[in-house]
Amino acid sequence: MGLKTVTGKINTQSPWAIAIALAVALLIIEGLAAVVWSGTRPQSIPLQDYNDLQTDLTSQLKTKETALADAAQKLQTAESHNERLQRDVTSLRQKVARLISPEQLPVQARGATPSQTLNKIQDLCDAVQQVNQANVSALLAVLVEIQKNSVINTALETKDPARETLYHQIQTILNQIDAYAGPIQSDQPSTLAAVKDYQTQNHLKVDGKIGINTFMTMVQSFQEKRLRQSTPPTS
């Protein structure tokens, strides 16, 4: 009874009603599709904005290329300068090796590497520069007097200013080499005593006379003191 009733209703529906229903459904589907597409499609860019963007990107690219070219040029210049320095250092070492061997250097100037040797030589040069003019003048004055008279006899009395100056210079030298700790004066007795003490300490002939041997010993003592001052202590 129920089946016959449903079948009868379906059969009595009009084909036009079905067509209208399908048309409405298609319109609804098209409307939904349009809404979805409008929300997902890319937004269009105005032509002027696109041109401006392209110009800006081109300008930035040129700036980067210019900076990269400058960096490459600087790097090439630095490499060229470094190569030139290396050639100069190699040439200098070769010249030094031809001029003097490490074995000929004083012990205080020898280093395990060329750089250490150069540093020690620089220290020695600095020590020499620290010698004041008074010490140099004293050494020269004593040497000139020895060349003139073969010997300086400090037992002679100071009868003139030149002799007093000479004794003052002798005491200055002895003071600088730590062989005389008294006040530096120009009198004969203290000079004679200082020279004899120095000759005794260095196993020389104790006569108070400064000849070439005593003078050279004084110069050697002077140099040794300067070398000790310039040589850094070992750890």
In a domain, 226, yes or no: yes
- Residue 192's pLDDT band (cuts 50, 70, 90): very high
Range of the domain at 85: 81-130
The alpha-helical segments, DSSP class H, found in 132-187 are: 133-149, 161-176
* pLDDT over 90 (residue 190): yes
The dihedral built from the CA positions of residue 223, 224, 229 and 230, taken in this order, carries a sign that is positive
Shared domain check, 111 and 192: no
105-137 pLDDT, tens digit per residue, is 666 667 777 777 777 777 666 655 555 556 777
Asked whether 152 and 166 are in contact (CB, 8 A), the reply is: yes
In a domain, 137, yes or no: yes
In a domain, 176, yes or no: yes
In a domain, 225, yes or no: yes
Cα–Cα distance for residue pair 76/79, rounded to 1 Å: 5
What pTM did the predictor assign? 0.44
User: Kind of pairing, strands 209-210 and 152-153?
Assistant: antiparallel
Cα–Cα distance for residue pair 134/130, rounded to 1 Å: 11
* pLDDT over 80 (residue 191): yes
* pLDDT over 70 (residue 75): yes
Query: Which of 130, 163, 195 lies at the terminal end of a domain, its last residue?
Result: 130
Query: Which of 97, 130, 163 lies at the terminal end of a domain, its last residue?
Result: 130
For residue 94, the Cα-to-chain-centroid distance in whole angstroms is: 23
* pLDDT over 80 (residue 164): yes
* pLDDT over 50 (residue 6): no
